[in-house]
Structure formats: C-alpha cells, structure tokens
Chain A
Amino acid sequence: GRKTKKTYEKPDMTVMRINR
C-alpha cells in the first residue's frame, strides 16, 4: 500500500513576456 513518491526538483518557473 506504500505510495511511490515522485522525484523532487526545486520549485522553479519560467517567465515569458507577452507583446500585446
């Protein structure tokens, strides 16, 4: 019944500018 844990990576984000 043991849950398989996902691989951890440091929380991060990519930010893209929109040219409206």
Chain B
Amino acid sequence: MSEDEGLVVKPGSRLRRVKGIAWRVVEGEAVLVNVRSDEVMHLNPTASFLWSKLDGETTLEEIALDMTEEFEVRREEALADVLEFAARLAEKGVAELV
C-alpha cells in the first residue's frame, strides 16, 4: 500500500520532514512529537534511518540503496518497505512530498 487518498509514492519521489515536528534520535531510535495531532511516534531503527534521510533531496530509491549498505537486506525488499513506510509517514502528516 503506497497509495492513500491520492498520495502516490514512487521510487523517484522525494519527501521531506514537515516543519514543526519535534524529533530526536535516542540510541538509534527516533521519537517524534506532533503537537498538531497530539501524537507521539516511536520509530524502530530502520524507520529512524529512513526518517533521518528525508531531506527533500534524496529519492526514496536512493534511501533504499543506503539502507542496503547499513542493514542486511536485499535492495528489492528495502525499496518496497521504504515506499510503504514513506506513505505511512505522509499519511500521518509528518512528512510531505516535494
């Protein structure tokens, strides 16, 4: 599921972190605070790695490739997971398409 309410996330898509989201990485795991939706999010290490790469310039495909160098995972699996999770972040309102 990388499509939600018209949002289409592709390998060439670039996402960036939404301004106003307070976040910090502790021991390799990110904690995000979204005061607009009154939510706190805790990301696991791979999700935190992805989150830290959302600079609005790096494509999701490049992030997946970086992930294969950092973690023991095949490129196809990494790309599929990156697309799915990026869509979830956008759906939650903490990341946006550039």
Contacts and interface: CB of A to CB of B under 8 A. Distances in A.
| Chains A and B come from one and the same complex | yes
A8 B72 contact: yes
A19 B85 CA distance: 26
Contact of A9 (B38, B46, B88): B46
Interface size class on chain A is 10 to 19
Contacts of A5: 69-72
B92 interface: yes
Contacts of B72: 5-8
Interface size class on chain B is 20 to 34
Given A13-B47, A13-B88, A8 B40 contact: no
Contacts of B42: 13-14, 16
B81 interface: yes
B7 interface: no
Nearest to B42: A14
Interface of A: 3, 5-20
Interface of B: 33, 38-47, 50, 67, 69-73, 78, 81-82, 84-85, 88, 92
